[in-house]
Structure 1
Amino acid sequence: MSDATPTVEEAIVAQARVHAREVADEIGVDLASVDWAVSARAKRRAGVCRYDHEREVATVVLSRRAYRSYDSGEFEAIVRHELVHAWEFQTHGESGHGSRFRERAAAVDAPRHCEPFSEPRYRLVCSDCGWEGKRHRASNPVKAPDQYRCGDCGGGYRVEHVESGRTWTTAGGYGAARAALGDDW
């Protein structure tokens, strides 16, 4: 018998499985067809449910960062949210955040969307209407904002590096900000 302390990933999966057993009947999900995994990379997504149609298995992937950021009640709400997706995959072959999802999620007190658990690295802002998008990675609109237009009004974008406050509106501006920040990027 081992005295080994479980890893963070093992603790996350163990807590998720315990809660899943408590709510599985209420959700209607078949836990025998649910696998569990943990992501150490996820920065904005608390969880995701992927479905393997060939194996007919849903894999719930939970974020280590979210687990560390949320209290146990918030974490369990994420588990319920992902189990509603698993139920949809198991019963309908597809899943989304539409009316069927919303109805089942409301019945089991699962949020439709999760509260952010980390600050974005970049903020994309429309210079005309003020629309704002948060980005954790340097996506194409972050790197070359002048090549994209706001979906709401057609205006141009300004990008802000949140930690430093530096802003840019062109690909050259992105390069200059990155060079100026060096190791602080």
Structure 2
Amino acid sequence: MTDADDPTIDDEIVARARIHAREVISEHDLEIDRNALEWTVTTRARRRAGACRWNRADEVATIVLTRQAYERYDWETFAGVVRHELVHAWEYQQFGESGHGERFHDLAATLDAPRYCETFAEPRYALRCLGADCDWSAGRHRASKPVKAPGGYRCGRCGSDIEVEHVDSGRTWTTASGFGGAKAALGKRW
């Protein structure tokens, strides 16, 4: 066997997920067409452990699992992600749409699947209220509009200004120019 033939961690993730899915589908008599179910792994996701995409034209559901989540979670937690995405696949195949509503909640409870999956990565940015008596904060994984230009946003709880912190460096800013300055000053460390 050559190195090219050696299984990768992505192969392991898909194999374990498929086996678990087959067991869940069989145990609960789920009406999921496994021939219309595809699996893939991503390394790009920063906060979601899984996703289910629906190709309406082909009527194929693709479950996308995140490698970093697989590496950080124990198997039981990751198996919950697989079950969560199976509920989406079932909804897509049965109804052509999916969400986190009552129908999702009912089947998720039956499968012991979490309604929402916990984040597996620390946020890159922290937003904080500058109000003296307010402790509101939020994390962001990407440079969203409030991260890039916090001066245009206010705390949703008390209406005060907010600041943003680049978590790895501790550098903070409250304006769009502050964001640009922090990014330039950090260079490759950004």
What is the TM-score when the length of structure 2 is the normalising length? 0.89
Using the TM superposition, give the Cα deviation of residue 88 of structure 1 relative to its aligned residue in structure 2, in angstroms. 0.8
1:76 matched residue in structure 2: 79
2:96 matched residue in structure 1: 93
Structure 1: how far apart are the matches of 2:157 and 2:35? 44
The size of the alignment, in residue pairs, is 185
Structure 1: how far apart are the matches of 2:135 and 2:174? 14
AA matched with 2:35: A
Using the TM superposition, give the Cα deviation of residue 103 of structure 1 relative to its aligned residue in structure 2, in angstroms. 1.1
Is 1:43 matched with 2:46? yes
1:170 matched residue in structure 2: 175
Q: Is the partner of 2:40 in helix, strand or coil? A: strand
Structure 1: how far apart are the matches of 2:162 and 2:60? 41
1:52 matched residue in structure 2: 55
AA matched with 1:50: R
Between the aligned residues of both structures, percent identity stands at 59
CA RMSD of aligned residues (A): 1.8
2:114 matched residue in structure 1: 111
Structure 2: how far apart are the matches of 1:184 and 1:57? 41
Q: Is the partner of 1:49 in helix, strand or coil? A: strand
Can you give the 5+ residue segments of structure 1 that lack an aligned partner in the other structure?
none
1:80-113 CA-to-partner distances (Å, cap 9, x unmatched) read: 0000001111112111111111111011110111
Q: Is the partner of 1:159 in helix, strand or coil? A: strand
2:14 matched residue in structure 1: 13
CA contact (8 A) 1:24 1:30 kept: no
Structure 2: how far apart are the matches of 1:131 and 1:24? 42
Using the TM superposition, give the Cα deviation of residue 168 of structure 1 relative to its aligned residue in structure 2, in angstroms. 0.9
Using the TM superposition, give the Cα deviation of residue 47 of structure 1 relative to its aligned residue in structure 2, in angstroms. 0.4
AA matched with 1:54: A
AA matched with 1:36: W
Q: Is the partner of 1:87 in helix, strand or coil? A: helix
Using the TM superposition, give the Cα deviation of residue 148 of structure 1 relative to its aligned residue in structure 2, in angstroms. 2.4
2:165 matched residue in structure 1: 160
Structure 2: how far apart are the matches of 1:151 and 1:31? 44
What is the TM-score when the length of structure 1 is the normalising length? 0.92
Structure 2: how far apart are the matches of 1:65 and 1:88? 26
